[in-house]
Chains A and B, each alone.
Chain A
């Protein structure tokens, strides 16, 4: 039989997405459905004095915090963020009141007047004294190594917010049903929503289920925020007894929901004259926003990746993520690593410059190799490919020749070397206890997992893995729509884990199913025994050891490796930067579906280029001032250069068919590659986005 893994088989989504037949949250209508709207704070910090409904409330459902059945807190890492403000406002656009009405115009016309006692807001994370999480990673003796280093290079690097801009804004529908409530929505993690709703509703409303509708992009932006909006829809549905749909418009989505954490990263690095790293002292600061949400784990991943893919015996990484009076920052593709890898990669080019050695050579000297240990003390195995991707990228782009020949012109070339840990950090996968299930059907099997298809190809890639492991045609593998009452909780669809971790459990389910079939055809077996199921739980490799207290051990079961080369041109009058070509050489085990994997790299690279050059969140008085696609710009067809993708293979034995995760890796590389290219034009840039305004300011003679 033709093997499915390794081939770009037809997507399971079928033709629906191209015909308009696929149903997203806003495409679904229930009889008697109301529309919901969120009334939000218009100050960044203070207390509510009074709320007045300045409209005829006939036909309206109005909900405030007093309507919460159990706990007014979104249950994430902490339970500090209320679904609805009770008294204290901590950030702009914080939800205070909910309205529902069957007529959208009447709903939008309703005017609510809120009076506040305003307080002085805190916007600067460096001035904040409240840290949601501190991290300390220690390897060797940095102070001593720095004191005796031949050369010490210091630098501070900054990254701004980044908005997800999934083209489908957040949206859900809460539908009262026999004995409970169903939530249909655009969500990445249906079981996160369930957890949040259990906390909100308590034991009086045990029967809630979440059904993922077709989802128009996520990128992390629909990891935690859907818990909030689902809670709101449920509160309105409970009070009105009718289905309630809440769909954010673009402006509300951009102003109110999460963004990538801004960061300030300081490096102090000791090197020998020959370019060997002997000490890396790194301080990572992130702006968490007004509530904890996922900031501790974002900081964690950021810190673990902060020393880059380099070996160094003496490393000290300190991290903190600070409270500010701004909307909470959250999960976004890369999850802290794009920030810290930007810093270390720009820093590496500055070290090369100071030493007068080639940046490629500096990386070659220090790149991690199998047997080396990372900052957390993890010994890398054979699936470490830093030098392989570096060598390939340099050769393929003729890097050294271009670098030399383009000196003094408006053309520039720069590179970045990076890695990204796949799956949850440390003991995370062990604690998650993810499950996957296969149900036998009369003609094949059905995959029943909570992992969501958000564009990346979950359904397709999972079906390929099951098809090959079970030895049945790809077409005979169905994939159930995630409905928390019907599928196994395979954990959240995040952290580049859906292929590597959930795919692995499915592979094991398929092998067990094959054993049960004992040579009988599915057709015969089904006739004899009916619709049997196989459910299994994820077992991380036994060698993974992690100590959360000391932050030491095997942070990730494996890493993906990448080297990006950016070629660009800059107009020296307008400081507009035009990327010409981006070469992305990436190793992520083995692609299950090459076209999907390529799509992850091309798309992640586009987001990374936007992060580098275009995507500037302007914050004014604690809120995004450019919360529109008119003035927050993502790359269009005319902004994107050619992307040359090279997928290299170095299988990870613990992944299905050798696969690692690929979702986030491509996001880490473009920004430092671009900024390192700009450096050769004489621009000492240490932050992104590198807008023309920033470049012009830096180019001014001192």
Chain B
């Protein structure tokens, strides 16, 4: 089985029915893609297949023969969205973050807050309540960030 992985032609020998998630993590050694539920609900395993955000736990290897796959490692370690995630504390425990970022990079220019919410609706985060993630994504796209909220008062 052959596909393009993060820009490089890659040949793997896993079983054609192996989950793409396992192939990426175990045969390709790319552990940035996480498993949260194994049933396509949490989105922690999101990767891009031919530009589309997909849960890699639901994809059998056979289905990606000849495809172009991008994982979090393919963004490198200096992508502006990654920095915004850390700066805005869009990542707390971090386990949903790679999948969240892969879902977010599909957003076009000048997204509205609703666009962001819709793009990330398949990615669960249990730490942040999502607000900090919106702030990270909107800032990355140069859009006004949703209100960072209230004031501080001293008693």
Residues in chain A within 8 A of chain B (CB atoms):
8, 10-11, 13-24, 26-27, 164-169, 214-219, 249-250, 385, 388, 392, 396, 454-457, 585, 587, 591, 594-596, 598-599, 602-607, 628-630, 634-638, 640, 642-650
Contacts and interface: CB of A to CB of B under 8 A. Distances in A.
Given A18-B91, A599-B89, A643-B131, A167 B125 contact: yes
B31 interface: yes
B127 A603 contact: yes
A603 B92 contact: yes
Contacts of A454: 93
B77 A21 contact: yes
8 contacts: A19-B77, A628-B41, A636-B124, A637-B123, A640-B129, A646-B150, A646-B152, A649-B155
B38 A167 contact: no
B56 interface: no
A405 B62 CA distance: 59
A167 B95 contact: yes
A650 B94 contact: no
Given A19-B77, A167-B96, A629-B41, A599 B132 contact: yes
Contact of A217 (B71, B72, B89, B126): B126
B149 A603 contact: no
Given A19-B79, A167-B124, A607-B126, 11 more contacts: A11-B89, A15-B78, A18-B82, A164-B126, A167-B95, A456-B127, A595-B89, A604-B129, A634-B126, A635-B129, A648-B155
Contacts, number: 207
A523 to B, nearest CB: 29
B143 interface: no
A638 B88 CA distance: 20
B146 A18 contact: no
B150 A637 contact: no
B83 A15 contact: yes
A18 B73 CA distance: 10
A531 B122 CA distance: 49
A23 B36 CA distance: 15
A602 B41 contact: no
A650 B155 contact: yes
B113 to A, nearest CB: 9
Contact of A599 (B34, B127, B151): B127
Nearest to B153: A648
B117 A19 contact: no
B44 interface: yes
A250 B36 contact: yes
Given A167-B44, A599-B89, A644 B150 contact: yes
B94 A250 contact: no
A629 B86 contact: no
A605 B131 CA distance: 11
B145 interface: no
A635 B124 CA distance: 8
Given A20-B98, A643-B149, A599 B37 contact: no
Interface in B84-122: 85-89, 91-98, 101, 116-118, 120-122
Identify the 10 closest CB pairs spanning chains A and B, nearest first. Answer: A20-B32, A17-B94, A216-B95, A455-B93, A606-B129, A646-B150, A455-B92, A629-B41, A18-B82, A602-B129
B8 to A, nearest CB: 16
A249 B151 CA distance: 42
B92 A629 contact: no
Nearest to B134: A637
Given A216-B93, A216-B94, A643-B149, A168 B34 contact: yes
B93 A166 contact: yes
B16 to A, nearest CB: 15
Nearest to A582: B129
Contacts of A169: 36
B58 interface: no
Contacts of A628: 37, 39, 41
Nearest to A254: B37
Contacts of B31: 20, 23, 26-27
Contacts of A599: 89, 92, 127-128, 132
A165 B96 CA distance: 12
Interface in B12-40: 25, 30-39
B5 interface: no
A370 to B, nearest CB: 10
Contact of A644 (B96, B101, B149): B149
Given A18-B86, A217-B93, A599-B127, A642 B151 contact: no
Interface in B42-56: 42, 44
B75 interface: yes
Contacts of A219: 126
A106 to B, nearest CB: 14
Contacts of B96: 167, 216
A377 B125 CA distance: 40
Contacts of A634: 124, 126
A22 B92 CA distance: 12
Contact of A455 (B78, B83, B88, B94): B94
Given A602-B131, A634-B124, A643-B131, A19 B155 contact: no
B98 to A, nearest CB: 4
A19 B129 contact: no
A647 B131 CA distance: 16
Q: Which of A11, A215, A392, A596 has the most CB of B within 10 A?
A: A11
Nearest to B15: A105
Contacts of B94: 13, 16-18, 22, 214, 216, 455
B3 interface: no
B72 A630 contact: no
Contacts of B117: 637-638
B72 A595 contact: no
A588 to B, nearest CB: 11
Q: Which of A18, A396, A629, A638 has the most CB of B within 10 A?
A: A18
A14 B83 CA distance: 9
Contact of A587 (B89, B92, B126, B155): B155
A456 B150 contact: no
A250 B38 contact: yes
B130 A606 contact: yes
Contact of A24 (B34, B75, B82): B34
Contacts of A396: 150
B150 A642 contact: no
A603 B124 contact: no
A168 B93 CA distance: 9
Q: Which of B38, B92, B97, B120 has the most CB of A within 10 A?
A: B92
A637 B130 contact: yes
B75 to A, nearest CB: 7
A219 to B, nearest CB: 7
Contacts of A250: 36-39, 42
A169 B96 CA distance: 12
Contact of A249 (B38, B71, B89, B127): B38
A647 B30 CA distance: 40
A249 B75 CA distance: 28
B86 to A, nearest CB: 5
B72 to A, nearest CB: 4
